[in-house]
Amino acid sequence: MTFEIVLVFGVIFLAIVFFVTEWLPIDVVSFGIMVTLLVTGLVTPQQGIMGFGNQATITILALMIVGIGLEQSGAITLLGQQLQKLFMLPIWLAITLMMLIVAFVSAFISSTAVVIVFLRVFIEIAPKININLSKLLIPLSFSAIIGGSCSLMGTSTNLIVNSIVSSQGYGDLEIFEFSGIGVLFLVATIIYMIVIGVRLIPARAKQLNMVEEFQLQDYLTLLEVSSESKMIGKEVAETTFKKDNQIELLKIYHQTGQERFPTDNEIIRQGDQLLVKGSLEKMKSIYNSRGVNFVHQKNLPENFTDEEDSEQILCKALVLPNSRVVGSNFRKAQIKSTFQAIPLAVQKKRKIVRRKLSKIKIEIGDILLVSVNKADFQRFYKLPDFLVLQEFEEFDKNFGNKWVAIGILTGLVLLAAFGILPIMISALAGAFAMAITRCVDIHKAYREMNWGIIFLLAGMIPLGSAMSNTGADSYLANQFIQLLGNGNPTIFISALFIFTMLMSGFISNNATAILLTPIAISIAIKSGLDPKPFILTIMFAANMSFFTPIGYQTNTLILSPGNYKFRDFLLVGGILTIICWVIATLVIPWIYF
């Protein structure tokens, strides 16, 4: 093993540590990888920046614009509204059809965009059809993940793998070349979810109304004791924090600068800031009471409220992947000035937080309780940064020409499917058509696009070149062959599939594909086997992040609305992971060997 190979492995190891721990945003880590590879000379300057102009990067950028056009024109919302009619059918049939529809749509546009739109639909219809929301959201996310793997343009992972394959001289994959295998995975997933999966999902997120829904779900907020408070001078044991099981006092910040975990005999003083956790019912009660104030309501700009209409609307807002607040704490996010909304509390499902609200890091999938002026609410509702988890029928919901947008998508797919144009060119043509027909507001699209993926690719793609330059991919391939024996393709496919699935459960599926695709190709070449099944193995497995809520963005998005716990994904998704592993082990070698 050469020094250069050791250096590449060191970069990969540090990257995985950062990806898993999330000490830094994924795109920042990826950018750091690119800089490190350039500084150490593991890649040439041309190789170091090739990720920005890579075919996959450009295609993904164009498809993002197409997907945003479908959202802005109302095409996806129209589909979501029609989906409500399915739930007049028996529930097992409704979920089956829902999963088929979601998978079909996800094969052509971003699965994250599909889940965002359908999430709001399900939140609205769940109480009407008397079904627990948690029973719907995992099937929604899993079907979107599987659907995305059924066509070349379904996910960025597929396009990345195709780009690596093409750059190594194996030609481009066809848009529906592997759809048959994807459909097998989809059918197995639907059968499993209907027969077993839905029964394993706990009924945790009963949708009654905005107050009742969160009786068992807690928000975190920071209150300040005002001069009018009846708590002043009292011990904690004498206050509502001991008498009311809907609210819990976690910490007290005295004006003297002391921070204390409260004991029963701790004295409450004027000006104290109280970190409390409580139900939405309790938050609404505090919001309308005297004696304590939400800290984030203080120091509002003079023009924050409209004199003619100062009525405030209390609402829940889910933080979306492309939100400007992701990665910031509440102080840096400047939610009041940027979005004209007062952040009152936050609900986090992945960890218990015992710090000041201003210091809490905002993450994808967090739910914020915010107060918005009624006059500003429609603007807030349409922001790409948040998904407001409640419908307001009085809003003007007229969209652009949804049928033109659907026609553009259809044309794009047909051009690529029949080989008339390469998928990158057809995607660019589709994005341009969306812009000139005004199906997409291009300036708004710039803000809605997930630029993090672009920087992720720009940073990670050169890592594949570094592995090839140093022979690291060949070295790992040799170790793999020595470990599993030489010449048995079924064992190779099985081992690669399960390892890739496990890896993508904890780090980005795109990063997983970039790292493992060159190794899989090298294994195939050294074993004298066709690389195609090895390539497809990595592509499918990297997409199928079922057993954790952090491996795939759609799982992260449904975590809080569904009130899921990590073990729900580990159980329901873990069984599905085993099922898909068995299918891949049997089907892929049977087709190609």
Mind listing the pLDDT tens digit for each residue in 125-137?
777 777 888 899 9
Average pLDDT of the chain, as a whole number: 83
| pLDDT value at residue 393 | 46
3-state secondary structure of 278: strand
- Integer Rg of the chain from CA: 25
| pLDDT value at residue 356 | 58
Residue 121: pLDDT over 70 = yes
How is 429-458 classified by DSSP, letter by letter? Answer: HHHHHHHHTTSS-HHHHHHHS-HHHHHHHH
Higher pLDDT, 371 or 44: 44
pTM: 0.76
Of 513, 501, 116, 138, the C-alpha closest to 321 is: 116
Q: Which residues contact 51 (CB under 8 A, 6 or more apart)?
A: 34, 57, 457, 458, 459, 460, 461, 462
3-state secondary structure of 58: helix
How is 148-206 classified by DSSP, letter by letter? Answer: HTTSTTS-HHHHHHHHHHHHTTS-PPPTTTTHHHHHHHHHHHHHHIIIIIHHHS-----
Higher pLDDT, 550 or 59: 59
| pLDDT value at residue 249 | 82
| pLDDT value at residue 210 | 41
Helix 111-125 vs helix 75-83: crossing angle, to nearest 10:
40
How is 211-259 classified by DSSP, letter by letter? Answer: TGGGTTS-EEEEEEE-TT-TTTT-BGGGSHHHH-TTEEEEEEE-TTS-E
> Residues of the chain with pLDDT > 70: what percent?
89
- Spatial contact of 114 and 141, defined as CB atoms under 8 Å apart: no
d(CA 147, CA 15): 29
Residue 225: pLDDT over 80 = yes
| pLDDT value at residue 185 | 97
d(CA 307, CA 149): 52
Look at the block and give the residue holding tokens 């500003």.
Answer: 376
Provide the phi-psi class of 55: left if phi over 0, else alpha when psi is between -120 and 50, else beta: alpha
298: DSSP letter: S
As beta bridge partners, residue 225 has 292
Higher pLDDT, 192 or 26: 192
What pLDDT band is residue 321 in, cutting at 50, 70 and 90?
confident
- Spatial contact of 20 and 507, defined as CB atoms under 8 Å apart: yes
Q: Rounded mean pLDDT of 59-83?
A: 83
d(CA 77, CA 286): 36
Residue 246: pLDDT over 90 = no
| pLDDT value at residue 139 | 95
| pLDDT value at residue 496 | 95
What pLDDT band is residue 118 in, cutting at 50, 70 and 90?
confident
| pLDDT value at residue 190 | 96
Which range is least confidently modeled, 281-295, 510-524, 556-570?
A: 281-295
d(CA 588, CA 532): 10
Residue 578: pLDDT over 90 = yes
Residue 124: pLDDT over 80 = no
315: DSSP letter: E
Count of other CB atoms within 10 angstroms of residue 487: 11
Q: Tell me the CA end-to-end span of the chain in Å, nearest whole number.
A: 32
How is 104-138 classified by DSSP, letter by letter? Answer: HHHTTS-HHHHHHHHHHHHHHHTTTTT--THHHHH
Count of other CB atoms within 10 angstroms of residue 437: 16
Q: Which domains does the chain have, with CATH numbers?
A: 52-204+406-453+471-592 (no CATH), 217-298 (3.30.70.1450), 315-389 (3.30.70.1450)
**Hey, which bits of 268-329 come out as E strands?**
273-278, 292-294, 312-319
How is 539-579 classified by DSSP, letter by letter? Answer: HHHHH---SSSSSSHHHHHHHTTTT--HHHIIIIIHHHHHH
Residue 377: pLDDT over 90 = no
Q: Rounded mean pLDDT of 82-107?
A: 87
DSSP3 helix / strand / coil % (the chain, rounded to 5)? 60, 10, 30
d(CA 471, CA 303): 62
CA-angle at 108, arms to 534 and 493, nearest 5°: 15
Going by their DSSP bridges, the two strands 386-388 and 312-319 should be labelled as: antiparallel
| pLDDT value at residue 379 | 83
3-state secondary structure of 495: helix
Mind listing the pLDDT tens digit for each residue in 142-171?
999 999 999 999 898 999 999 888 888 888
Quote the tokens at residue 165: 């394959």
Q: Rounded mean pLDDT of 63-77?
A: 84
What pLDDT band is residue 542 in, cutting at 50, 70 and 90?
very high
| pLDDT value at residue 176 | 93
Look at the block and give the residue holding tokens 């027909």.
Answer: 437
d(CA 339, CA 386): 10
Of 590, 551, 473, 500, the C-alpha closest to 180 is: 590
Helix 509-526 vs helix 156-167: crossing angle, to nearest 10:
30
Look at the block and give the residue holding tokens 């009311």.
Answer: 244
